[in-house]
Structure 1
């Protein structure tokens, strides 16, 4: 999609692959040969522990190493806006991993909640990319999300001071927000070229907003699910 292939062409290829899979017997000799080729090609990739998934603007960093003693980031993207710094991704202990944001705030006053805002996939036919003749590669993230909706949003399920284990480098302290699993599933269904917005709400004063590129979030999650070779 980032290379300019129309979304309908990508969907058509996927549909043809599914149709071919449904019509091929499981004991097909040709299928067995193809499967062995895939296994051989996949063996090296399966041994990778860490991989970066760069987009046009941001980078998702995935880590499949296991640490049962303390929570770790399995998938993350960092963003900074002035003195406001945040990391969003999947973190926790094995078997108890959640979509989380850890952020620090310039004046030290924490928000009472946070929410993730994105294009409503059910009410729109595709991504909002306000290029206006500019190159998509250099399009700012705030122009990759609808200006006035329709949106869907997911509020944080919990808020707490962040433990030192989850603080990004250079962040002395911060607040951790845990989001529902549905939020990660929704991000995975977005176009990789668009962005999402993380909004922090305060008891007094305006909200603070940060934007992240969707990028290869789906591919990075799939990488985390791969069995180590």
Structure 2
């Protein structure tokens, strides 16, 4: 390939990134969208193109595009290769390239709307993550996915007061019996490196990792499911977020509630766009 051909391909990629780096995703081009957003993220890391809030919005959109690509049939190896190509292309582009300035201007304009967006729904195959950036003095959900165990609603995500919510599961059990412990159960990437998408979605016990809750307290009324008057809020360590982000967006994880009679109640959740939701929150409160 000649120098002229290389320059031409670089400019074409930059021009495409300026268009495909926008927030909307068409499923038919989800893998291409992921490549272009990964390119802009890599270019930003190298050339410091965007303010932190725009950078957070771009990271959210890139994670969202990756989830959309996986759900549309792209393979993990294919997306890893696309990300590697994007980083290589970004490394070959001059930070002073005028086409890169065009990308910056268009991405700034496209994601400016995200900065003013108070709430966003990140759909999954079966369940959605709902993100909320509205400031409140009351305890509220910043990032939430709903599930159920039996007749009892279970919500999981980031909840709390102020600007430092923690990973929390809120459950309102029917009846008087209450669990004495709770844990997140998910695939152990050391034992099983590839996504587990078979059976009921949960990896077998031999391939599972778990993170136990660090505490429990009565849940604030503002965190309860509609129609519930009481519930418990189980708090989980910050390390659980990194473990969830390592999952494939199509994978299932669960929260187990353990009772003193030896029984276990299990609420299932979808990994989905958890990473994108966290990045959306990183843009700050409104």
Same fold (TM over 0.5): yes
Superposed, which structure 2 residues align to 1:172-211 within 5 Å?
172-211=229-268
Corresponding residue number in structure 2 for 1:116: 184
Q: Which runs of 5+ in 2 are unaligned?
A: 1-69
- Given that 2:153 and 2:225 are in contact with CA atoms closer than 8 Å, whether structure 1 keeps it comes out as no
* Contact 2:163–2:285 under 8 Å retained in 1: no
Q: Deviations over 1:75-126 (max 9, x none)?
A: 1011123212110010112332111000011222221110000000122121
Residue correspondence of structure 1 range 74-89 to structure 2 within 5 A: 74-89=142-157
Structure with greater strand percent: 1
Q: Distance between the aligned counterparts of 2:192 and 2:139, measured in 1?
A: 37
> Which one has the largest radius of gyration?
2
Paired residue for 1:63, among 109, 127, 132?
132
- Counterpart pick for 1:35 among 100, 104, 120: 104
Q: Which residue matches 2:283?
A: 226
Q: Distance in 2 between matches of 1:227 and 1:40?
A: 18
Question: Residues of 1 paired with 2:208 and 2:258: CA distance?
Answer: 17
SS in 2 for 1:65: coil
Q: Which consecutive unaligned segments of at least 5 residues does structure 1 have?
A: 132-142
Asked if residue 94 in structure 1 is aligned to residue 162 in structure 2, the reply is yes
Q: Distance in 2 between matches of 1:12 and 1:208?
A: 40
1:5 maps to 74
Question: Equivalents in 2 of 1:42, 1:56: separation in Å?
Answer: 25
Contact 1:57–1:213 (CA<8 Å) still a contact in 2? Answer: yes
Structure 2 Cα separation of the partners of residues 118 and 108 of structure 1: 28
Higher relative contact order (CA 8 A, sep 6+): 1
Q: Which runs of 4+ in 1 moved over 4 A?
A: none
- The offset of 1:227, in angstroms, is 5.0
When the two chains are superposed, the root-mean-square deviation of aligned CA atoms in Å is 1.7
1:228 deviates by 7.2
Secondary structure, in 3 states, of the residue corresponding to 1:96? Answer: coil
- Normalised to the residue count of structure 2, the TM-score between the two structures is 0.72
Which residue in the other structure is 2:89 paired with?
A: 20
Q: 1:228 to 1:90 in 2, by over 3 A?
A: closer
Q: Greater share of helix residues, 1 or 2?
A: 2
